[in-house]
Structure 1
Amino acid sequence: MFANYTFENPEFFWLLLLLLPATAWYFWKRKQQTPELKMSSVKGFKVKQSLLSKLKPVLFVLRLLALALLITAMARPRTVDVTTQSSNIRGIDIVMAIDVSASMLARDFEPNRLESVKEVGAEFIENRPNDRIGLVLFAGESFTKTPITSDKSIALRAIEEIEYSDVLQNGTAIGSGLATSVNRLKDSDAKSKVIILLTDGVNNSGFIDPKIASELAVEFGIKTYTIGVGSNGNALTPVGILPNGRFQYGVQKVEIDEALLQQIAADTGGKYFRATNNEKLEEIYEEIDSLEKSEIEEFRYYNYTEKFRPYVLLALGLLLFEMVLRYTVFKGFI
């Protein structure tokens, strides 16, 4: 009930301290306020204190309560209703470029690299409510899965639908994936443009040199974060297809062109990361999330409702009640 109560002038509550000496003075002088009749002896009278005389301090209590209520009213109690409105004054456009080659099904991540990337990527999207996000997939070639959009449901659905497909030529076209991402962002009017490029291999396909794609990113002011995915050493990786259509797995050496990924990140003002397991991949996306923050301007509107009137009315009511009692019920005993 009083959760949103505030007081505009709380310094008036110091006046409540004056009620303490007033109370002490009343009880010290109470007997002197009652008329006295001195008699040599009261043996002929039956002494019995009446109920009204016992209730006489009620008048003083009513007056104290009235004063306390008036002091509270002077402190200007009021309720406040706060509403906020946010304005995105520095938005970020982000393209997530994800390698979907067969090697992304390697099982050095749980359950595999691709599923882990999808899970962490979806969480990253959910944590960016104020930005536009697009999705580019690449293997031996690249294509735009989703243009940059502020509709997070579209981006989330797109990343959930990612799966390995032999429709794309097999291989790893890092240059093509980066160039397609640049093409998605080059006409953006956002204050900040970012590519998060994730791969688990070396550039061995495509018609665009990664260095040329990197130069394009620099020209259009696009920062690129690169992530190399794969454990150190060997990993259980698809090496063929069985007659039943399932992949045949074998132990393969993990090869990531870290030098190239580091160079792309350095040239574009980004940063290179190496993810060797699920936990490390989550930490990388969390770090990127902390590095790229949208500037939000928040407006707060305060609606105050004054609440002093009920206190004043109640105080006046108590004073009136005290006067009625004083000049009616307690009139002969004062």
Structure 2
Amino acid sequence: MNIDWANEEWLWGLAFPALLFAWSIFHRSRTSARRKGSQAQWATAGFSGIKKSSSSRIHPPKAFLCSALALLVVSIAQPRWGTEKTITFERSREVIIAMDLSKSMLADDIKPNRLERAKLVVESMLETLQGESVGLIVFAGTAFLQSPMSPDYQILRGFLKDINPTYIPQGGTNYEAMLNTALDSFEQSDGMADRFLIVISDGESLESNWKAKARELKEENVRAICLGFGTQSGSFIPDGEGGYLKDPNGAVVLSKLEANTLKQLANMTDGVYKEASLWVDLAQLVEDTVKSGEAALKEREKENTLVERYHYFLAPGLILLLISLYLEFPTLPKARTIKRKVAA
């Protein structure tokens, strides 16, 4: 039978109960020799009837304590032997959500407005995920990672609730900065998962330098799921003071959905583009995209898992420890009667 140890270094601790046992035997033998000498002196002096101490009984000294310590050390070392069949589920998926925070996302052609509708769509996706690592990027004229990838969705929900266009005062829709931030975030993972970049935006990039970053996404096996929030008819952008944003000429700005960049990004990464003027089941969209990929939710059967056996040593070790404490607990000494021989 082959025994495997999870904490093999703890086996060095067996030296302590061994040394304690050896020291106890040595100490008991010396004490016994002194006691015999004392009894001989009392007998010479004419005393008799000295009751022998119970400590002179022949039994391994502190045997229970030393055995208990040895068993506990073995338990801590976690012995494992034998195998059992286990079935585990492996979900290998990483998702980064890139949320456009330009002021145009406040337009209300989608109720209550584009940004709030996007938050609701993302929230609904989080309700259905089971263990995926999810991160959040916010972007406008620049971009930064708001929430690193993590399976703890409560952290992401906290950020998602509070984000708004004031997070990024620099206006515009900088796809290059957003894609660069996404690439940096994916590089921190092990690269063995399905990777998705969910881009939520209403505008297109006026520059084409983002395409080089899109090709890098493709090389890193990241597929973009692009959601266009807005309508073709568009809407005005509230300025936060009861009016609407105006251009330098004083005309009110009408914001429409510009989906060209989103469509190109999806095509370049073998992803998918979806217009979100109506409700989008983002979780199902991810699932559908996964089916065309390589990795997904996998059932993996392991037949060679070693079985933990530490409890076989832990339970008797604790019992012997309690017994040793009971036997070693000090008691009040009993009175002894000493008789002196009367000379004839």
TM-score (norm. length: structure 1): 0.56
* Deviation per residue, 1:209-253 (Å, 9 max, x gap): 210110110121211111111112221323x464xxx55265614
- Whole-angstrom distance in 1 between the partners of 2:88 and 2:136: 25
Aligned residue for 1:118, secondary structure, equals: helix
2:244 is aligned to: 248
Aligned residue for 1:212, secondary structure, equals: helix
2:231 is aligned to: 231
CA 1:229 to 1:90, structure 2 compared with 1: closer, same or farther past 3 Å? same
- 1:95 maps to a residue whose letter is I
Q: Is the 8 A contact 1:86 1:296 kept in 2?
A: no
1:260 is aligned to: 261
Structure 2 residue 154 is the aligned partner of structure 1 residue 139:
no
Structure 2 residue 116 is the aligned partner of structure 1 residue 115:
yes
- 1:287 maps to a residue whose letter is L
Q: Is the 8 A contact 1:176 1:213 kept in 2?
A: no
How does 1:56-135 map onto structure 2 within 5 Å? 87-135=88-136
Aligned residue for 2:166, secondary structure, equals: coil
- Whole-angstrom distance in 2 between the partners of 1:165 and 1:87: 44
- Whole-angstrom distance in 1 between the partners of 2:116 and 2:211: 29
- Whole-angstrom distance in 1 between the partners of 2:194 and 2:285: 17
Aligned residue for 1:165, secondary structure, equals: helix
How does 1:295-314 map onto structure 2 within 5 Å? 295-297=297-299
5+ residue gaps in structure 1?
1-84, 300-334
Cα displacement (A) at 1:289: 3.8
Cα displacement (A) at 1:285: 4.8
Cα displacement (A) at 1:197: 0.8
How does 1:1-334 map onto structure 2 within 5 Å? 87-165=88-166, 167-189=168-190, 190-204=192-206, 209-238=209-238, 240=239, 242=241, 248=244, 250=252, 252-256=254-258, 258-277=259-278, 279=279, 282-292=280-290, 294-297=296-299
* Deviation per residue, 1:260-283 (Å, 9 max, x gap): 222211121111111223x2xx23
- Whole-angstrom distance in 2 between the partners of 1:259 and 1:167: 23
- 1:149 maps to a residue whose letter is S
- Whole-angstrom distance in 2 between the partners of 1:182 and 1:247: 38
CA 1:86 to 1:163, structure 2 compared with 1: closer, same or farther past 3 Å? farther
Out of 99-108 and 116-125, give the one that drifted further.
Answer: 116-125
Q: How many percent identity over aligned positions? A: 25
Aligned residue for 2:281, secondary structure, equals: helix
Aligned residue for 1:292, secondary structure, equals: helix
Instruction: Give the aligned length.
Output: 207
- Whole-angstrom distance in 2 between the partners of 1:103 and 1:213: 24
Aligned residue for 2:130, secondary structure, equals: coil
Aligned residue for 1:227, secondary structure, equals: strand
- Whole-angstrom distance in 1 between the partners of 2:235 and 2:96: 28
- Whole-angstrom distance in 2 between the partners of 1:167 and 1:221: 29
Taking only aligned residues, the RMSD between alpha carbons, in angstroms, comes to: 2.7
- Whole-angstrom distance in 1 between the partners of 2:187 and 2:98: 15
- Whole-angstrom distance in 1 between the partners of 2:109 and 2:273: 20
Q: Is the 8 A contact 2:118 2:229 kept in 1?
A: no
Out of 285-294 and 258-267, give the one that drifted further.
Answer: 285-294
TM-score (norm. length: structure 2): 0.55
Q: Is the 8 A contact 1:98 1:198 kept in 2?
A: yes
- 2:204 maps to a residue whose letter is V
Q: Is the 8 A contact 1:141 1:177 kept in 2?
A: yes
- 2:209 maps to a residue whose letter is D
- 1:262 maps to a residue whose letter is K
Q: Is the 8 A contact 2:121 2:281 kept in 1?
A: no
Cα displacement (A) at 1:181: 1.2
Q: Is the 8 A contact 1:104 1:112 kept in 2?
A: yes
Cα displacement (A) at 1:166: 5.8
Cα displacement (A) at 1:199: 0.9
